[in-house]
Amino acid sequence: MKIAISAMGATLDSEVDPRFGRCRYFIIVDSETMQFEAVENSGCAASGGAGIAAAQMIASKGVKVVLTGNCGPNAYRVLSSAGVEVVTGVSGKVNDSIEAYRQGKYRASSQPNVPGHFGTAGATGVGCGREMRREVSRGNVPSADLTSQPGSLQQELSALKAQSQLLAKQLEDIQARISELEKRGKGKE
């Protein structure tokens, strides 16, 4: 069975991305063989419709289950209509998430667990790649929305942990870019 996981990187050791429509990658795994394909999410920085486009792409790949931190109403509707089971509240490493699903530790969500536009930079402080660097370079560092979202305490806790991991990775990327620019600037003096 094909399982798609929203991921921050392109390997099974990558962290689960808490955003479905605006994740950097989808790892599509055959749950029996663990063979996988990493698919870059081309809609990550789209101004709108990222969740719908991602859901349509995932459905077209024959995926039966999606594991993600959060899924908004538009993406959820497209996935459900295509017969794709959606599991939210997932965090940690991609390979651990797959194993937990195989062991029956996750249940399908009966509804979206976040409002629309949850994964956009303005809503949660988490953009993707160049989009986030561009906003930071302009001095626009949006803050995370840590308000309670619908769902169980465990789902909220998992989502917040995943978002914290994402923000830590983004901070690491920003600090690396600062160092790179400082080195480049010193070379021109």
- Catalogue all structural domains in the chain, each as residue range(s) with its CATH number: 2-187 (3.30.420.130)
Q: What is the pTM of this model?
A: 0.64
d(CA 67, CA 81): 17
pLDDT tens for the chain, 189 residues long, are 999 999 999 999 999 998 898 899 999 999 889 899 999 988 776 667 778 888 999 999 999 999 998 888 888 989 999 999 999 989 999 999 999 999 999 888 878 766 555 555 443 334 454 444 443 343 433 333 333 334 456 656 665 665 666 667 677 778 888 888 888 888 666
Name every residue whose Cβ is closer than 8 Å to that of residue 142 and which is 6 or more positions away in sequence: 121, 122, 124, 125, 127, 135
